[in-house]
Copies of this chain bind each other. A is one copy, B any other.
Amino acid sequence: MHGNMMQWPLLISSIFRHATTYHHDQEIVSVTADQPQFRYTFTDFAARVCQLANALTNAGVKPGDRIATMAWNDHRHLELYYAISGIGAVCHTINPRLFPEQIEYIVEHAEDTLLFADPMFVELITPITARSNTVRAVIVLDDGATTVDGIASTSYEDFIACEAETFAWPEFDENSACALCYTSGTTGNPKGVLYSHRSTVLHALTVTTPNALEIGMQDAVLPVVPLFHVNAWGIPYAALLSGAKLVLPGAALDGESLYSLMEREAVSVTAGVPTVWLGLQKHLQENNRKLPSLKRMIVGGSAAPSSMIEYFETQQDVNFVHAWGMTEMSPLGTVCRLKPAMQQDSREARTAQKIKQGMPVFGVELKIVDDDGMRLPHDGEAMGELWVRGPWITSGYFRNPEGSRSDFDSEGYFRTGDISTIDSQGYMRICDRAKDVIKSGGEWISSIDLENVAVGHPKVAEAAVIGVPCDKWQERPLLVVVLKKPGSELTLNEMRDFLTGKVPKWWQPGAMEVVDSLPHTATGKIQKRALRQQFADFSFTSSTEGSI
């Protein structure tokens, strides 16, 4: 027997309608190349989104068509989010930091018909769009200063200029596709994840809850995480859904720019990857600055080191919230919020808990399993492959039926490719990626944990660990570090002394290399594949190798 409740589909246009009706004078602040201090209200935003929806429709865009964007976080990109999905088309956000070959592959694979690009990416895309069989035109996100060779093109402002400022949003099945994002390609070729209106709205609603990012109409939210990376963790939807002020930082993500923006706009919630916060931390420390309005920072994408957690919690009085997710998960999986009893713990115990990636939000189911697929206990010890299930998790990659099948098990869970533990309180900790994990003498070494401890050394700015083959132990960890002071010195023995007592004895690195910088992916993660290539010829001397 069915309940007697209305069938009201969960659509992105419902978020738009709610925000622009009930929070019409709330603000969106945006940094663009041509307007570094742009701001307007939800009402102004609404008018332009409707103009864009009309322009897209007039340009022949049909429901289901993929429309690509390659842009920073600004108001035009936000308008694209709402107009494209609102008319039933698919907003395909492309990560401009992927290799050009990857970008070309993605555009063709998705069969994008229009491409909206920031002026600074025109050079990058010109050869791709000139060759493309699917892209019909490029629309440059400015007011007419930039031209594109080899393809029809116009400026965004011209594209929408003459259109009507109202639009009748169609109603359709909430399972319709709304957005498409390819994974970062940290471990291989990018794979497409096709989100639905239902998954996006449920995810956005969850993002607003107190156990997650906690966004209400009192908040000013700054997504530093790019709109081209998993929909900026759902914040462009969550902020409007709650009537919060949305602050979009454009391309300038250095410490100084972020500090100024947060200060000027009284930002209360922000979200981004650890690399970005390292920059901010450095800026704040060097200039002895404070962030009085900031209440919460949500940090994910790769593991946050404990030194960062301690700095922001004790020096900036910010609630540092570690989170974990994936492109395949929209992305929110787990959030590390302390339970009431843990609030009473010592600072050290709280940091030790906050370094974990946390508990799943309602809607996400986790399991860790051994090599035979058997569930492992929640004891904080047992390490296993992490599998997930829930309404905003992919059921298969876009146009990739073969690649998809092996990623799902008979219970409908999706294989994350991460290795983790879950403690008795339900807190999950990412130990490694299955592809990065180091097996030494038959035992697993968590490269993430080892990196996290090593980065706590006062001389170290960044640390990465990879496994290098060795005869005696199969694999031994090689520690690669960037020093805070270029030109300073750090010896393997100093590092070993520092690590002693903080990691198991057999985790001690077999060798340490000092480099000027580490290779990062488009989304700020350390590119372990590139690092392994860089050290492909490395081999331990028998003295270091045996010294554990």
Main DSSP-derived SS at the A contact region: loop
Q: Which residue of B has the minimal Cβ distance to A218?
A: B340
| A216 vs B211: C-alpha distance when bound (angstroms) | 5
Which residue from B4, B8, B90, B197 sits with its C-beta under 8 Å from A194?
Answer: B4
The smallest C-beta distance from A64 to any residue of chain B, in angstroms, reads 4
Q: In the bound complex, what is the Cα–Cα distance between A197 and B90 (angstroms)?
A: 29
User: What's the least CB distance linking A334 to chain B, in Å?
Assistant: 10
Instruction: Report A389-411 residues with CB < 8 Å from chain B CB.
Output: 389-398
Task: Check A242 against B209 for contact (C-beta < 8 Å).
Answer: yes
CB distance from A274 to the nearest CB of B (A): 24
- Is A6 close to B, CB under 8 A? yes
Complex Cα–Cα for A22 and B367 (A): 12
The smallest beta-carbon distance between A265 and chain B, in angstroms, is 12
List the B side residues contacting A242 at CB < 8 Å.
209-211, 362
Say if the beta carbon of A214 comes within 8 Å of chain B. Answer: yes
C-alpha gap A21/B359 in the complex (Å): 10
Q: Report how many copies the assembly holds.
A: 2
Q: Name A241's contact: one of B90, B175, B362 (CB within 8 Å).
A: B362
List the B residue with the shortest CB-CB distance to A388.
B6
Q: Which of B6, B24, B211, B390 contacts A243 (CB 8 A)?
A: B211
Please count how many residues in chain A sit with their CB below 8 Å of the partner chain's CB atoms.
Answer: 71
Chain B residues within an 8 Å CB radius of A15: 362
| Interface-facing stretch out of A76-84, A138-146, A198-206, A309-317 | A198-206
| A275 CB within 8 Å of chain B | no
Cα distance A155–B399 in the bound complex, in angstroms: 58
- Whether A3 lies near B217 (C-beta < 8 A) is no
- Hey, which chain B residues are within 8 Å of A362, CB to CB? 14-15, 18, 205, 241-242
Q: How far is the CA of A107 from the CA of B194 in the complex (A)?
A: 47
Chain B residues near A426 (CB, 8 Å)?
Answer: 21-24
B392 touches A177 (CB 8 A): no
Q: Is A193 an interface residue (CB 8 A)?
A: yes
Answer whether residue A360 sits at the interface, using C-beta atoms and an 8 A cutoff: yes
The A263-304 residues at the B interface (CB cut-off 8 A) are none
* 6 A-B pairs whose Cβ atoms sit less than 8 Å apart in the complex: A1-B90, A26-B339, A205-B205, A205-B206, A208-B210, A217-B337
